[in-house]
Chains A and B, each alone.
Chain A
Amino acid sequence: MKTIEGKYILTDVLLVEDSPGDVRLTQEAFRDANLLVNLHVATDGADALAFLRRQGHHADAPRPDLILLDLNLPKMDGRQVLAHIKEDDALKTIPTVILTTSEAEADIVRSYQLKANCYLTKPVQLDEFEGLVKSINDFWLTKAKLPQQRVSLAN
């Protein structure tokens, strides 16, 4: 849990996901796991990059502390989004976790080649999906040290 001078800071997570059901599940699981997570959703690859680059109606978008990225997305594929993030000096340090239904070895290897920080597959069972989101929260937002860049403070 992040604090600055004793104040809790909201952790911004960007979820890039086109399935409304998976968005809902992820939102609910984070709400249960960590009330200090501010979950933002981009429903296609182009929207994700616009959010990250603060373009268009995302002019005031915060920089995410963590990105959860689906691979199969409309408009711009997740692999392409990942490549753009990791080639951009301003964005490449943001840990980017692939969260997809694909278990194909080619997708796993390709994602690590494109510098994904880790690769997770979405479980089909509801309780396992919730368990995975809790693991992401426990590991990435509690144990891992993320680069600091936050300015917005909340009590």
Chain B
Amino acid sequence: MRPLGEDGMPIVVLLVEDSPGDVRLTQEAFRDANRAVHLHVASDGMEAMAFLKKQGAHANAPRPDLILLDLNLPKMDGREVLAHIKADGTLKTIPTVILTTSDAEADIVKSYQLQANCYLTKPVQLVAFESLVKSINDFWLTKVKLPQQGQNG
């Protein structure tokens, strides 16, 4: 089995995030942490679903190896996106990590009920934010075994 990112194989990460500042921070942190990561961005829930289902402008979208999903999103809420992903026979095996500012217990429990693979809160401090992205890379993209079908696009 070939580890992700070897032999020039890109690791495809879909970031679903409406805050341009958080998008920029995540892009920069991944650039520092792992050059093999190709970070795609969907800025609302509808666009995330179109990307995952290769609809419209996303006809050639690759299948992500990992999804980072904010909860509070325009058009379609992150909880709804999560429910759609986990109810879809072809998408449900993609690990989906909630990355949100909310540390409300109700959001944490609800997300795990909807089968989020993991729940993380965005730190307010810049350094802590970068460190969290590095942790996501070190754990999810280095240690964890992801389904290989994610590499087939």
Contact = CB atoms under 8 A, between A and B. Distances in A.
State whether these chains interact: yes
Interface of A: 86, 92-93, 95, 103, 105, 108-109, 112-113, 115, 117-121, 132, 135, 138-140, 143-148
Contacts of B138: 135, 139
Given A105-B147, A135-B143, A143 B120 contact: yes
Counting contact residues on chain B (CB < 8 A from A), the size range is 20 to 34
Contacts of A93: 109, 112-113
B143 A145 contact: no
9 contacts: A92-B112, A93-B109, A93-B112, A95-B112, A95-B118, A117-B117, A118-B140, A135-B138, A139-B135
A117 B118 CA distance: 7
B140 A144 contact: no
Interface of B: 1, 86, 92-93, 95, 103, 105, 108-109, 112-113, 115, 117-121, 132, 135, 138-140, 143-149
Nearest to A86: B115
A121 B145 CA distance: 7
A144 B1 contact: no
